[in-house]
Amino acid sequence: MSLKSPLGQVMGLGSARGGTGHWWSQRVSALALLFLGLWFAAELICLESLGYQSLTTFMSSPVNAVLLVLLVATLFFHSLLGIQVVIEDYVHHAGLKVVVLVLIKFAHVLAVALGVYSVLRVGFGA
Amino acid sequence: MTTKNRPLSPHLQVYRWQITMVMSILHRATGIALALGSLVLVYWLASLASGPAAYADAQALLGSNLARVLLGCVSFAFFYHLSNGVRHLVWDTGRGFEISQLYRSGYLAVAASIVLTAGFWLLVL
């Protein structure tokens, strides 16, 4: 049970009942990815090699590991929001749409978990 | 409701291509490509976490000629989606909707994505 009043629950949500939440999340994650993406591209340029030793040293730095975790998490969050809209646009069968949307969400959460765990494992020195 | 076989709007067969519509379609296409490309990033990170042997396998796979071409395409998709994304963020503030501004920002975003992609690979390699 929600403690919000019925009016409070629908305020600003409009007839689509979703409000501007999806749109706003997409913009904020886009801005974050602008910085994180350019940071990652710059680091790839600055790394002396993409060898195992060079990368594990890079990721053992707390700042690099944390920024990589944020990059992976934000990347797949932004991707989920975008792919969700693509599916809603092109998959017209109501049942199939729900199934695909749930599968896409599972795939994104799996990818985030794998990516974050991998960065942390290297960062903590596996 | 029997609304099947009605004509689509815009009429795709006779629709004149413009940079504005092509860039809009490309933004979505590169977004889908990047969603797939980010799986490569996770594969790369997971192989790194799995140890030197697994990472050597990943390096061999990602270093193949086909993979190099695909990574080149993904990098262009990244810089295009980034440049055009900035264009979208400017639009979200309500600016830049005059036809002349739309064309100018469009060509600017395409130029920026080509320059960024070329610059990135020149510096990496």
How far apart are the CA of A11 and the nearest CA of chain B, in angstroms? 22
**Which range has the worst mean pLDDT, B3-17, B48-62, B104-118?**
B3-17
Q: Which of B12, B82, B35, B91 lies closest to A39, judged by CA? A: B82
Q: Which amino acid is at A84?
A: Q
Q: Does residue B10 have a cis peptide bond before it, meaning omega lies within 30 degrees of 0?
A: yes
Candidate from A27, A37, A82 with C-beta closest to B35:
A82
Q: In angstroms, rounded to a whole number, what is the distance separating the alpha carbons of residues A11 and B118?
A: 48
- A39 backbone dihedrals φ, ψ, rounded to 5°: -60, -45
* pTM score of the predicted model: 0.89
A11 part of a folded domain: no
Domain residue extents for chain B? 19-124
Asked if pLDDT for residue B3 goes beyond 70, the answer is no
Preferred mutation among A22, A50, A84 to probe B, highest tally of B CBs within 10 A: A50
Q: What is the pLDDT of residues A77-87, one digit of tens each?
A: 999 999 999 99
Test B32 with A111 for CB contact under 8 angstroms.
Answer: no
pLDDT confidence of B2, banded at 50, 70, 90?
low
- Residue A80's region, left for phi above 0, alpha for psi from -120 to 50, else beta, is alpha
Classify residue A65: in a domain, yes or no: yes
d(CA B59, CA A28): 33
Other C-beta atoms within 10 Å of A84: how many?
17
**What's the average model confidence in pLDDT over A66-80?**
98
Query: Choosing among A64, A118, A119, which should be mutated to test the B contact, i.e. which has the most B CBs within 10 A?
Result: A118
Q: What is the pLDDT of residue A12?
A: 66
Residue A2 has which token pair?
């929600």
In this structure, what CATH number is given to the domain that contains residue A38?
1.20.1300.10
Measured in angstroms, the CA of B14 and the nearest CA of chain A are apart by: 22
User: Smallest Cα–Cα separation from A23: which of A78, A91, A102, A88?
Assistant: A78
Structural contact between residues B37 and B81, judged by C-beta atoms closer than 8 angstroms: no
The predicted structure's pLDDT at residue B55: 97
B 54-93 residues with CB < 8 A to A = 55-56, 59, 78, 82, 85-86, 88-89, 92
Q: What percent of chain B has pLDDT over 90?
A: 84
Taking CB atoms and an 8 Å cutoff, what residues of chain A touch B38? 75-76, 79, 111
Judged by a CB distance cut-off of 8 A, whether residue B45 touches chain A is: yes
Comparing A2 with A31, the larger pLDDT belongs to A31
Contact B46 A76 (CB under 8 A): no
Give the mean model confidence (pLDDT) for residues B54-70. 96
Query: Over 70: is that where the pLDDT of A118 sits?
Result: yes
Provide ipTM, 2 decimals. 0.89
Q: What is the pLDDT of residue B107?
A: 97
Alpha carbon A93 to chain centroid, angstroms: 27
Average pLDDT for residues A62-78, to the nearest whole number?
98
Contact A118 B46 (CB under 8 A): yes
pLDDT digit string, tens, across residues A28-54: 999 999 999 999 999 999 998 999 999
Distances (CA, A) of A32 to A37, A66, B18, B42: 8, 14, 30, 19
Number of domains in chain A: 1
pLDDT for A8 equals 72
A9 domain residue, yes or no: no
Does residue A1 sit within a domain? no
Q: What is the predicted pLDDT for the residue at B10?
A: 67
B15-33: average pLDDT: 93
Give the residue numbers spanning the domain of A110.
20-123
- From the list B42, B52, B92, the residue facing A52 with the nearest CB is B52
Q: Provide the pLDDT for residue A5.
A: 78
CATH code of domain B19-124: 1.20.1300.10
State the residue for tokens 């910085």. Answer: A35
Better pLDDT: B51 or B7: B51
pLDDT reported for residue B40: 97
Residue-by-residue DSSP string for B61-116: HHTSHHHHHHHHHHHHHHHHHHHHHHHHHHHHTT---SHHHHHHHHHHHHHHHHHH
Within 8 A of B31 by CB-CB distance, chain A residues are 79, 82-83, 86
CB contact under 8 A, B48 and A56: yes
Largest CA distance in chain B: 61
Q: What value does the mean pLDDT take over residues B4-12?
A: 69
> What pLDDT is recorded for position B1?
56
pLDDT at B37: 97
